[in-house]
Structure 1
Amino acid sequence: MTRHLLVGYQATSTGRDALNLGIALAREQDAHLHVVIIAPQDSAYAGIYPHDRGYVSILEQQLGTWLDEALASVPGDVPATGHVITAEADAEGLLAAAGQLGCSMIVIGGRSGGLLRRYRLGSVATTLLHAAPLPVALAPAGYQHSGPVGRLTIMFGPRPGAVDVVGLGIRAAHRRSIPLRLVSLVLLDQPPAPDADTDDRSSRHDQEVLDSVTRYANRRLAEEAAELLKHGLASTVVSTGRTVDHAMDELDWQSDEVVVVGSSRLATRGRLFLGSTAARMLRTVHVPVVVVPAGHTGAPTAESDH
């Protein structure tokens, strides 16, 4: 079954980052890219452009040219179509287009935040990451990996709701036939004492992460994760630190990697809401991040599974 991904495009470096990520996510996945440019709605209240028919045709021509250039850069093995959508606001237009086109994800670019290609969220990203009813993928500034995705990292902490992240991660890793990394993020007042036995520490981390999946997701997902670990298709990390930044410093990243995080506990079911922990992660991660809406998998919670 063909999956449909929407790329929110602009003829800027941010738009090119989003398009590159869309291509990487679509590669070898029987996925169709919908490259969408939002045109300002011709409204008497907008006041952005002169209400002149000749000017509108010039604007439409320019948008069409930018869209043609974007589509020409998409590799031949990735089917793609372009759309110019009229809307009062970019985020509103992208959400409407995603619904009309049957897209399962919106891909956008993050503005450069300075050092190490870290994220700085613009108004469109901020709106989508606090309201979208489907996953949103955010490309870091300067993203150029052409795909396919080579490793998937899912990050979860000690709270109910991990079922959305773990469920999506396991399904995506199966579908893509790529390694899965399960990262349990634990904030501590003091770092744990080092363990000299590497094999014992690895085994303990596996069990600790699986216990966390059982506790904060459900037994079924923990069993699926254990099966992946058994066959060498997954790995576990317990990332600890006094702050999110310290815990994230323990992690290594690959250029072909994508990270999946969940929504805040404040999120309404079926909607995204970027939590404070995930927002702090964006300060240090320099690979693409996918944020998943609350209740996205439709799987039972840990409480209902016991």
Structure 2
Amino acid sequence: INLKISFFAIYPTAREDQYWCYQSQVMCNDSCPGPEGWAVVSQHCSGRAQSPVNIVRRKTLPDERLTPLHFIGYQETFHARIVNTGHTVQLDLPAGAVIKGGDLAVPYKAIQLHLHWGKDGGPGSEHTIDGEQFPMEMHIVHIKEEYNSLSQALGDRTGVAVLAFFFQEWASANKKYDALVRALKHIRQPSNTTLNGLSLDMLLPPQSNRTTYFRYQGSLTTPSCAEALIWTVFENTIRLSKQQLAAFCQLKFSNGKQMEKTHRPVQPLNGRKVYYSGGHSALVSSTLLIISVMASSGLSLHARG
């Protein structure tokens, strides 16, 4: 794939659509390869450090270096281009939003966000936790500040940092998502429009709910599948109503089919480790529990004596 054309990230434009498809997009008389055939598009797709993955909680390694991230410029409101790329819905972000901390070696600047979803609010996330698939997953794509484009950053094994957030179905609508959901009506076919008055903070859980996350080294989840990503997968979910989740399925792929089940199947870890930011608090809790048990045992022994 021409990486210059893929600047908006992870997704080629409609012109390149013949190169790859999601499984839900593949048609009987179509030569467009689904996920099982993506290695034909890019050899990276058969690599040993691919994403997404299933995160098994009991196998994660607590890591005290995974401190809360600093979200700089996430509170600023902006005007953004919202695009139906033919594979997803994507927001191209203006300069200004940066993440640092959380054991990232350098600051990373946000360039775009996009989403993956299921069918009418059904399972559709890319990553899973203990085998559970959530209705939708958002990826906020960042690159090292020294780079000018995603294609440039992909040449560096740690050039790209992606924040992943899961969505959960809720009884009531999330008003902070109203403008984004309304904008979908204007981009049902591959096209773009402008979205005003948004901030990244509006779209995320409160900062106090962004302290627990999983971290591992992986890849883009679509061709070229380049293995140059630091993944940060947050534990706390974003709540949307069933109607809000289902609105994303009103979009159309570039071949005219309903845009649904826009997720790659989970990939093998192949020996990679998944780290968990709750390390410090988990250790403190365990220590307190042990002290509590010892204290109560001592008291009961004393009473019997």
TM-score calculated relative to the size of structure 1: 0.27
Whose strand proportion is higher, 1 or 2? 2
TM-score calculated relative to the size of structure 2: 0.27
Higher relative contact order (CA 8 A, sep 6+): 2
